[in-house]
Amino acid sequence: MKNYITGFPRIGEQRELKRALEGFWAGKIDEASLQAVAKELRIKHIKYQDERGIDLISVNDFSFYDLMLDNIITFGAIPSRFQNLNGLEQYFALARGSKDSVAMEMTKWFNTNYHYIVPEITKDTKFSLNLDKILSEYKEAKSITSRKLKINLIGPITFLALSKTTDKTCPFSKFDELVSKYCELLKEISKLDDEVIVQIDEPIFVTDLDEKLVKFIKPTYNKFSEISNLKIIFMTYFENAIKAVNELVDTKVWAIGLDFTNDKNFKALDVLAKSDKVLFAGIINGRNVWRANLDDKLKIIKKIKENLSDDRIFIGTSCSLLHVPFTLKYEDKLNSEIKSWLSFAVEKLDEVRIISKLASNLELNQNDQKIYNESLEAAKNRKISKLINDDEVNLRVKSLTKFRRDGDFKDRISLQDKRLNLKSLPTTTIGSFPQTAELRQIRRAYKNEVVDENFYENEIKKYIDECIKFQEEIDLDVLVHGEPERNDMVEYFGEQLSGYAFTQNGWVQSYGSRCVKPPLLFGDVKRPNPMTVKWITYAQSKTNKPVKGMLTGPVTIMNWSFVRDDKDKSEIVKELALAIADEINDLQNAGIKIIQVDEAAFKEGYPLRKEDVCAYEKFAVDAFRLAVSPARKDTQIHTHMCYSEFNDIIKTIEAMDADVISIETARSGNELLKVFKEVGYKQEIGPGVYDIHSPRVPSVEELVEQIENILKVLPKEKLWINPDCGLKTRKWEEVKPSLKNMVEAVKIIRSY
């Protein structure tokens, strides 16, 4: 039985690509040096798979920034504002903006924390073909390994379904034109070898859009399959794709990829059994870090084999491994018991190889037998480990009596307005200020015990002093302490909660060069001590203006962690909510008037199928309400959400009952805000007035126009003015003029 990997991480085992990209953007290395790093990484990643016995190795899963962006370049779908650029200058301008043009919109890839660049389709879009990347990477891979290769592509249906329009053009009005370009591409690819395998990713068919889009499958994939020398894999992941399978069995595609970490995909086996299709069975979970119980995985394969013969089954990962850290190789400080429960991308290659051998009744060599035995032992030990279970936590959850805060919004906001006494269109930021190299170095030195606590705290206080001084100088209304003590908005809190563990090198790509290091939520959670009170109250002591307490919400902490898979998430999130509730109570008792509970990943956790949404919404809303339940009526609760389409969840957001919500709208215009107006949203809103993911500095005039446009949608009484997200990834030389211009723009608007 053959095996495969859906896709492999590209950032490098020690974030080599991140450093090269940031060096290139800063002008510290040239393009040749950047390309050299990229080539070295591609070669290493292929060798990793080759040496670990992966039969079918992916090509074109490498990217400098994002595969959707690569698709935009491949098919020439480049917005007119970037047409005067070329090469890498154009490529990175699409993602990051330029001095003359705003970047393309970026949003979450389905319900993951990975972001993709959203294609822009207009009536003037003319597709063209740029084959250089695909052809060169295939030839490069072929020179490295003798194993079979497969070329990864994002499919045309998913590409257009995830596109946006800027002139009310339906993206699918361009479908036939795009498909013809795909056919041209596939014909060129088919010349690369006697037989070329192409994995075409169509994950849009694991969403409820499948009902509208299945009609495109047969004509499109029959066309593709008619091209000689090609074997087409129609690949899906993350959820069930039953409707797509029902269509695909009547096409000429060679294979269908399904995610068998989702039980509903077993329903497809009866249909597949009556066809000639090969199944690419995603058995090893590509989205979590827990070591597979290989015996349990073999039971899944046994069930599949009841319907399909061995020669029609490929065993692999449920999705690309870019969603998990690279390797456990560097984790020498992690608790050995917890480490034994883990499996990162490289280790998952071993799991794929071993279960494909066992499923084929092949004898394991000594090393594979050792890994197999360890997997069974880890599964057994994890169930009974004393590290996981905390009776005190479980009793507190069962004894809950208060689930939400007192008072309705109308009563609360009246008290808050009197207490805060803010001007109209109050200005603030989302929370973080730049994480400079010096700041990271200080935290690292403290963590490694190179400097003592006194030195560390003095340095953090200096940074807070500078942040407060700067904000007062530009006349912001509501200040923040800048979060200099925080490495990451989830990891920082996880480090202070029981039930969490942390890696040294467990980085996962979020977008471009941006990586996150999700903590490992392995056991019952509680807050032994206050987590933020010391730093927030210090900042408040330096100013008469209100300073926001900054917390990460329970749903986001859960969604941005690698969460234990032995307990229901609806119970885990209650434990997290109680920890945040304790912190809110301590902050307000210390005199903090405004507390922001960020739920940046609230929408990200949504199931991809409507049938599962109600259950998620209930426990997510309940968790937020539980977290803020100690807040007094005159304590103002803010929340922040990232890259979300709110149209379908606006009532859910309203039910969360935050006093103020800040959202990212800078790249998407005012369309996002109209839904708040249409439903008569009662609470206050802080739309992002400029894009912090781009290095460009917006002018005062540009910001005045942006705020005026927002005021056409929502009244000033409901509005706060802020950037669209935290500023930790930006440089001070970008942040200072941008915020200064933002405040100046608000003063101009106030003077009308």
Nearest CA to 103 out of 741, 668, 722, 726 is that of 668
Structure tokens at 438: 């010096």
Residues 252/257/263/267 CA torsion (nearest 10 deg):
10
Q: Residue 546: its pLDDT value, please?
A: 98
Task: Give 290's DSSP letter.
Answer: B
Alpha carbons 413 and 660: distance in angstroms, whole number: 10
| Count of CA atoms in the C-beta half-sphere (13 A) of 151 | 27
From 45, 115, 481, 693, the catalytic residue: 693
Residue 579 domain-assigned?
yes
Element (H, E) at 186: helix 175-189
What DSSP letter does each residue of 659-725 carry, written as one string? Answer: SEEEE--TTTTTHHHHHHHHTT--SEEEEB-S-TTS-PPPPHHHHHHHHHHHHTTS-GGGB-BB-SS
Dihedral through CA 372, CA 378, CA 381, CA 386, nearest 10? 170
> Any alpha helices (H) in 30-174, and if so which ranges?
31-51, 67-74, 87-96, 132-142, 156-161
Active site residue 481: no
Whether 603 contacts 649, CB under 8 Å: yes
- Beta strands, E only, 202-349: 230-235, 255-259, 278-284, 313-317
Whether residue 630 is contained in a domain is answered as yes
Per the structure, the complete domain to which residue 251 belongs is given by 2-327+334-384
Please indicate if the annotation marks 732 as binding a ligand. Answer: no
332 has binding-site annotation: no
- One domain, residues 362 and 428: no
Identify the three-state secondary structure at position 262: coil
Amino acid at 45: H
Same domain, 248 and 179: yes
Predicted local confidence at residue 587, as pLDDT: 98
Local confidence band at 677 (pLDDT 50, 70, 90 cut-offs): confident
Higher local confidence (pLDDT), 669 or 522 = 522
Distance CA 662, CA 733 (A): 24
For residue 165, tell me if it sits in a domain.
Answer: yes
Q: Is the pLDDT of residue 647 over 80?
A: no
My answer on whether 207 and 271 are in the same domain is yes
Our measurement of the distance from residue 225's CA atom to the centroid of its chain's CA atoms, rounded to an integer in Å, reads: 33
pLDDT band at 648 (very low <50, low <70, confident <90, very high): confident
Cβ–Cβ under 8 Å, residues 6 and 49: no
DSSP one-letter code for 363: P
Contact 557, 489 (CB under 8 A): no
- Counting the structural domains of the chain, the total is 2
146 falls within a domain? yes
Q: Is there a single domain that holds both residue 510 and residue 646?
A: yes
Please name which of 179, 196, 87 lies closest in space to residue 132, comparing C-alpha atoms.
Answer: 87
Was 295 annotated as part of a binding site? no
Instruction: Judge if 239 and 100 occupy the same domain.
Output: yes
Q: Report whether 15 belongs to an annotated binding site.
A: yes
- Region 372-378 average pLDDT: 95
To the question of whether residue 329 is assigned a binding role by annotation, the answer is no
Establish whether 515 is an annotated binding residue. Answer: yes
| Helices 533-540 and 569-589: angle between axes, nearest 10 degrees | 30
Examine the domain organization and report whether 563 and 711 are in the same domain.
yes
Cross-strand bridge partners of residue 552:
598
61 and 132 together in one domain: yes
- The answer to the question of residue 412 being in a domain is no
426 with 365, same domain: the answer is no
pLDDT score at 666:
67
Does 175 map to a domain? yes
CATH code, domain with 671: 3.20.20.210
User: 640 a known binding residue?
Assistant: yes
Q: What is the mean pLDDT of the chain?
A: 95
Please check if 560 is assigned to a binding site.
Answer: yes
pLDDT tens across 403-442, in order? 999 999 999 999 999 999 999 999 999 999 999 999 999 9
- Residues whose CB is less than 8 angstroms from the CB of residue 582 and which lie 6 or more positions away in sequence, other chains included: 527, 530, 630
Residue 739 belongs to a domain: yes
- One domain, residues 374 and 493: no
Diameter over CA atoms, the chain? 80
- Does a structural domain hold residue 204? yes
Q: What is the pLDDT of residue 670?
A: 63
pLDDT tops 60 at residue 537: yes
* Res 359: pLDDT: 96
CB atoms within 10 A of CB 420: 16
Give me the mean pLDDT over the 464-483 stretch.
Answer: 98
> 355 with 426, same domain?
no
Please provide residue 587's backbone torsions phi and psi, each rounded to the nearest 5 degrees. Answer: -65, -45
For residues 600 and 652, state if they share a domain.
yes
Q: Is 514 annotated as a binding residue?
A: yes
Contact (CB, 8 A) for 236 and 205:
yes
CB 583 within 8 A of CB 540: no
**pLDDT one-digit tens code per residue, 219-249:** 999 999 999 999 999 999 999 999 999 999 9
In terms of Cα–Cα distance, which of 748, 640, 750 is closest to 699?
Answer: 748
- Shared domain for 338 and 429, answered yes or no, is no
Please tell me the predicted confidence (pLDDT) of residue 137.
Answer: 98
pTM of the model: 0.87
User: Using 50, 70 and 90 to split pLDDT, how confident is the model at 643?
Assistant: low
Confidence of residue 752 (pLDDT cuts 50, 70, 90): confident
